[in-house]
Each structure stands twice: as structure tokens, then as C-alpha cells.
Amino acid sequence: MTVLGIESTAHTCSIGIVDEGAKVLALAGDMYKPPKGGIHPREAANHHVEMLPVLLERALAEAHVSPKEIDGIAFAQGPGLGPCLRAGATVARALSLAWDRPLLPVNHCVSHIEIARVLSGLDDPMLLYASGGNTQVIAYGRGRYRVLGETIDVGIGNFLDKLWIALGGTFPGGPQLEAEARKGSSLYPLPYSVHGMDVAFSGLLTASLALANQGVARADLAFSVETTAYAMLTEITERALAHRQMKHVVLGGGVACNERLRSMVRAMVEERGGTMFAPPRNLCVDNGAMIAWTGELARRSGLAVPISASAVDPRQRTDKVRAPWRDQGAGALPGVN
Ligand code: AMP
Ligand code: MG
């Protein structure tokens, strides 16, 4: 079995091809970079429309497969930016029709946990999903993935990008802030907004900009921002582990590329006797291979849809979709349906 997956929820458009053992046969992607400021959904979608045919040829060549050897077409149905999602879904529908193959809608957040789960070999890990637009702590319970905690304002990556751009930098801010933070050492106090298993970043943004205006060195500011924001994420992940009596954590999303975040979460998890796993960077960020792999799981569970039922869902919640491929017993959450 070989499944092709299309990712196009935000900046990245990507096509991946995987086999039934989750071996990545091909992965071709391209990122829309706004000339300045944040992402414009229509412009990003135009970029994806132009790039997807190129990426398709590249992926098929890299995988050494012909269309005849593809057994399913998966695409990210949501959550994401409407115009970007529609660009990917349109290509997926066209391929499904042209090649007469099942069409497999996939939830983007679920695909981050499924690729990390299969790569790590951990049967029932908690996912800390830290990306541009999403920040969630997710675990499986009774047929679905449940959001145990999340940001109540912006995603962690959007916060880092906004801060960096306000300081005069360019998108994406996260990696540049990471490089800056490595040179810093003084920890300035910043708002630490943890509310149960949820977090918020807007107060942190305002306070960080105020520190910058007071002339705090950029490296120390970056160090303080990373320390505070990643401690918040580590704390809510630990609380979710404790409540669910779980041990293992996998990471996903662009911000999960961050070494500081990885080491803080790893220290917490190992102290609790568990294992922390972060996929290689090309499978941590948005990518078509995770969509393809989750599409394969969906195919096995009979979740293919006709074109008439393949509308994108920009606000699709992680717990809106079923995950019947998960053992009903594993990670079941008593009392939750
Ligand atoms: P995604 O939304 O998953 O495509 O990831 C994009 C986000 O990840 C952007 O907000 C980036 O700034 C952020 N990002 C990428 N690499 C890093 C890093 N090393 N440290 C922190 N943030 C990062
Ligand atoms: Mg993502």
C-alpha cells in the first residue's frame, strides 16, 4: 500500500508518499514567505496552487512510483487557513478522480501525533503540539484524540514571530530568536500565564516589548522569553501527564524544532520515568508525509469519503474527528465520550 498526502494548512505546502509501514518514500515541500509582516491567506494559497503540481512531479520521481501504484489520496481537511486548505483539497480531489483512488480527509493536528507515534514506537504518548497557529496538549481517549490543554489566545509560534517582527526582524522569528537566546544569560521576569492546563501569550508579548523599549539587550530578552514561554508549555504538559497517569511525550509542530523546548520537556519527562521523542525536523514541521501516513490509517478504517463530503473545515477541532484505528482500550479516558 502506498498513500500520497497533501499538506497545505498554512505557510507550507508539501506532498509526501509513504508505504504501509510508514516508510517515507518521498517528501517534497515549499514554504510561502511573506515579503514583510505576517501571512496573507490568499497569497499563501496562490503560492500553493503554483507549487503543488511541481511538488507532485518531484514526489512521484523521488518515490519511484507511478500514479498506478498509489492506493489513496490524503489531504489536510483542517484546521487551517481556508484558501490554503482549499488549494490542497482541490488537488487531492482532482487526483482522486483522475487516478480513481479513495479520497482520505485527515485532521492536521492528529497527523502530527500519528507520525510521531509510529516513528517513536510509543503506543500511547501525549503530544505537545507547538506550532505557528496551534498550541495544544493532546492525548487519545475513547475513539478520539482529546485536547487536554491549549492556548487561549495565539499559538506559541505566532507569538514568537510577532515579537521578532516587532523587534525589526523577519518571518519566521522562532529560529532567529532561538539563535539570539543562546547568547543571552540574564533572566528578566515576564508574565507566566498558565491557567490549569491552558496557556496565554498576549501578556508575555506586551511585557516583552516593554522590556525591549527599556533597552534590555536583545539576547537577554530572547533568553527570558524562551525560558518563560517554554516553561509554561512544559508545565501544562506535565500536569496533563499527571492527570492522565501517562509517562511518554512526543513533540510536533515547528516550535518543537527548538532545542531549548526539547531539553526542558525531556528533563521533565525523564524525571517522571518516561521517554520524550521529537521527530526529525522535516517531519516535525508541517509535511505531506504525516498526512499520507494518517491517510493510510484512515483508509484501513474505511474513512474514505466521496468528493461531495470532502469540504475543508478551517476550524476543525482535534476532537471532532474519530480515530478508530486506535485500540479502543489504549489510553481510554474513563467517563469521557
Ligand atoms: P508550523 O506552524 O508547524 O509550520 O511551524 C512554524 C512556526 O514554527 C513558526 O512560528 C516558526 O517561527 C516556528 N519555529 C520554527 N523553528 C523554530 C525554532 N527553532 N524555535 C522556535 N520556533 C520555531
Ligand atoms: Mg502543524
Number of structural domains found in the chain: 2
Specify the pLDDT at position 39: 82
- How do strand 103-107 and strand 126-130 relate by DSSP bridges? unpaired
Check if the beta carbon of residue 289 is closer than 8 Å to that of residue 252: no
Mean of the pLDDT values across residues 55-69?
97
The per-residue pLDDT for 35 is 80
Q: Tell me if 285 sits within 8 A of 254, measured CB to CB.
A: yes
Q: How far is the CA of 112 from the centre of ligand 1 (A)?
A: 14
Cell of 96: 482522486
Residues 224 and 269 in one domain: yes
CA atoms within 13 A on the CB side of 216: 23
| pLDDT score of 327 | 75
Residue type, 14: S
Instruction: Tell me the H-state helices in 250-287.
Output: 259-271, 281-284
**Distant-in-sequence, close-in-space partners of 314: CB < 8 Å, separation ≥ 6:** 78, 79, 80, 81, 82, 85
307: which residues sit within 8 A by CB, 6+ positions away?
A: 93, 96, 97, 103
At 98 the pLDDT is 98
Examine residue 247 and state whether it is found in any structural domain, yes or no.
yes
Look at residue 155 in the predicted model and tell me its pLDDT.
96
Does residue 44 lie within any of the structural domains? Answer: yes
Does one domain contain both 84 and 179?
no
285 lines ligand 1 (CB under 6 A): yes
Ligand 1 atom showing the smallest separation from residue 156 Cα: 10
Residue 118 lies in a domain: no
pLDDT of residue 321: 95
Is the pLDDT reported for residue 331 higher than 50? no
Closest residue to atom 5 of ligand 1, CA basis: 254
- Average pLDDT over every residue of 222-241: 98
Tens of pLDDT, residue by residue over 33-52, are 888 777 899 999 999 999 99
Indicate if ligand 1 lies below 6 Å from the C-beta of 160.
yes
Q: Using the predicted structure, report yes or no on whether residue 258 has a pLDDT greater than 80.
A: yes
What are the pLDDT digits (tens) for 155-206? 999 999 999 999 999 888 999 999 999 999 999 999 999 999 999 999 999 9
Q: 100: domain CATH number? A: 3.30.420.40
Report which DSSP code applies to 25: E
- Give me the pLDDT at residue 336, please: 44
| 194-195/198-199 β-pairing | antiparallel
In a domain? residue 107: yes
Q: What is the DSSP string of 68-114?
A: GG--EEEEEEESS-HHHHHHHHHHHHHHHHHHT--EEEEEHHHHHHH
The ligand 1 atom at the shortest distance from the C-alpha of residue 158 is 10
Is there an atom of ligand 1 within 6 Å of 255 CB? yes
> Is 167 found in the same domain as 74?
no
In the numeric block, which cell numbers belong to residue 222? 530572547
What is the model's pLDDT at position 330?
Answer: 45
Domain presence at residue 119: no
Flag whether 334 is in a domain. no
Among 228, 252, 274, the domain-final residue is 274
CA distance 12 to 79: 14
What is the distance in A from the centroid of ligand 1 to the CA of 176? 10
Asked if residue 337 belongs to a domain, the reply is no
> Which domain, by its residues, includes 103?
2-112+283-328
Residues around ligand 2, an ion, CB closer than 5 A: 131, 286
Q: What is the pLDDT of residue 335?
A: 44
**Do residues 32 and 47 lie in contact, with contact meaning Cβ atoms separated by under 8 Å?**
yes
Residue 46 three-state SS: helix
Residue 40 domain-assigned (yes or no): yes
Beta-carbon count within 10 A of 281 CB = 11
Q: What is the mean pLDDT of the chain?
A: 95
In this predicted structure, the answer to whether residue 238 has a pLDDT above a threshold of 90 is yes
Confidence of residue 265 (pLDDT cuts 50, 70, 90): very high
Domain endpoint, select from 233, 256, 274: 274
Identify whether residues 240 and 294 lie together within a single domain: no
Please indicate whether residue 257, judged by its CB atom, sits closer than 6 Å to ligand 1.
yes
The Å distance, Cα 217 to ligand 2 centre, comes to: 31
Distance 295 CA to ligand 1 centre (A): 24
What are the DSSP E strand ranges found in the chain?
2-7, 12-19, 24-31, 72-78, 103-107, 126-130, 135-141, 144-150, 194-195, 198-199, 249-252, 276-277
Q: Which pairing describes strands 135-141 and 12-19: parallel, antiparallel, or unpaired?
A: unpaired
> Is 173's C-beta closer than 6 angstroms to any atom of ligand 1?
yes
Q: What is the pLDDT of residue 337?
A: 39
CA 67, 10, 193: angle at the middle one, nearest 5?
140
Residue among 255, 264, 281, 286 whose CB has most ligand 1 atoms within 8 A, to mutate: 255
Assess whether the C-beta atom of 253 lies below 6 angstroms from ligand 1: yes
Shared domain for 170 and 268, answered yes or no, is yes
Which residue out of 160, 226, 281, 283 has the highest number of ligand 1 atoms within 8 Å of its CB and is therefore the one to mutate?
160
Q: Could you tell me what percent of the chain has a pLDDT over 70?
A: 97
Work out which ligand 1 atom sits closest to the CA atom of 260. Answer: 20
Q: Give yes or no for residue 136 CB within 6 A of ligand 1.
A: no
